[in-house]
Amino acid sequence: MELPEGFQCEFEGLADGLREAPSVSVRCNLRKRVGVPEGAARVPWCPSGFYLDARVPFTFDPALHQGLYYVQDASSMIYDYIVRLMASDGLPKSYLDACAAPGGKTTAAIDALPDGSVVVANEYVRARAEVLRENIVKWGYDRVYVSCGDTRAFRKLKEEFDIVAADVPCSGEGMFRKDPEAVAQWTPALVAECALRQREIVDNLWPALRSGGCMIYSTCTFNRAENEDIVRYIMDEYGAEPVELPVPDEWNILRREGCMHFLPGRVRGEGLTVAVLRKPGECPVRGEKPEKKRQEKMLPAIASCRKYLGRPDEYAWAVEDDTVLAIPDRRMYARLAKVLDLRLKGIEVATIKGRDVIPAQSLAMSCALADDAFPSYEVDYGTAVSYLRREAVTLVDAPQGYVLLTYRKRPLGFVKNLGRRANNLYPQSWRILSTHTPDMPPEVLR
């Protein structure tokens, strides 16, 4: 690989590391109780992450679509480690991932946060926000909002979040060996442009961070202008205090001026730079009084859907645009809805269509789904792939009505069984487009 003209290798051995072949790694979904396969090479800083010997056709693995694992570069899995340290008191947190698509760092944070934490995942680009929403839904955590919009909106959410993550748009030097386009588009002018945008994003997000809370700032680039200089700006402008995390020497993460650098050639992963900064002051005690139990507007659709969740009383229930919603944290939702374009509001339980209340894919993927909510029907690999292509499937000796298909005893999605045929309810926009089916399923989780 030829490095772009003007690129400066500030770190010894980096140029050689960028010419090495990239690694392949995945992270298991702890909230769906998936463990690392026995004998797998583990990612040192993430207990649920492990390396693969080679890339496999992930698209054709039902486990990926079931949200049982996420394909993620090992360096980015450091978010699991950082968030666990930030939330080590075990109390629920409010967490914002402001530049979240496609969702890898958000889902890593979800697994590291204590139960009851509420997560907001935002993405500026509309198409990327839809990908983010899909990946969040598949991961199955019930207390997530997905929004689409400029980070300026978060200026209005004063001291809302205990932790704010900003994996900001950058010049992409850390992706050189995986993405030829990153090499082609790199220029010194791009670095300067990105640094200005990064300061603007930090300025937008800082008011939303609680006093005593932490900001996780990261880029997939190496240069000082987008990393150490931005960290210094946050410290000088806002009085932020750098947080020195305990990092074992054997991880080979390079530290410099408040930043942790993951450098190809030193770590088994792509280029990443991360810094953690604490906002001055004491974290205030939440001033909200306990919410009085209020009478839900018990529409018939809501009444029929409550039994689908294991703990229905933990949510506020509503019907919006013919969608039945189980909304986490009513008061926080009210604040968010005033300023954000929300694309996901907790669990989309069902869609109302005439007299039918059709269970949603979000419900099938949710960890909150009650075990006995629907009759289930186990399918083989070929049928699972056909279902994920949104093709017609035939069920033998299955009850009529809505049926939850499972693959290897885990939820795959819903069909409406009519007897002679079953209507496939998998989301049209999520379907596998390829007509190829491997002879054997990819065995990522073995």
Question: Which residues are paired to 118 by β-bridges?
Answer: 94
Amino acid of residue 198: Q
DSSP state of 198: H
Residue 240 assigned to a binding site: no
Residue 397 assigned to a binding site: no
Q: For residues 247, 251, 254 and 259, what is the CA-based torsion angle, rounded to 10 degrees?
A: -40
Residue 99 assigned to a binding site: yes
Residue 100 assigned to a binding site: yes
Pairwise CA distance, residues 65 & 444, whole Å:
13
| 138 neighbors 362 (Cβ within 8 angstroms) | no
Query: Over the range 413-424, which residues count as b (16 or more CB within 10 Å of their CB) and which as e?
Result: bbbbbeeeebeb
Residue 102 assigned to a binding site: yes
- Which is catalytic among the residues 220, 259, 283, 367? 220
Give the Cβ contact number of residue 287 at 10 Å.
Answer: 5
| 388 neighbors 406 (Cβ within 8 angstroms) | no
Amino acid of residue 47: P
Residue 105 assigned to a binding site: yes
* β 376-378/118-123 pair status: unpaired
Give the Cβ contact number of residue 280 at 10 Å.
Answer: 10
Candidates 188, 184, 177, 249; CA nearest to 220 is 177
Residue 228 assigned to a binding site: no
From residue 402, give the alpha-carbon distance in Å to each of 138, 179, 352: 20, 43, 14
Residue 150 assigned to a binding site: yes
* β 401-407/410-417 pair status: antiparallel
Active site residue 220: yes
Indicate which residues carry an active-site annotation. 220
Q: Which residues are known binding-site members?
A: 99-105, 123, 150, 167
- Extract the annotated binding site for S-adenosyl-L-methionine: 99-105, 123, 150, 167
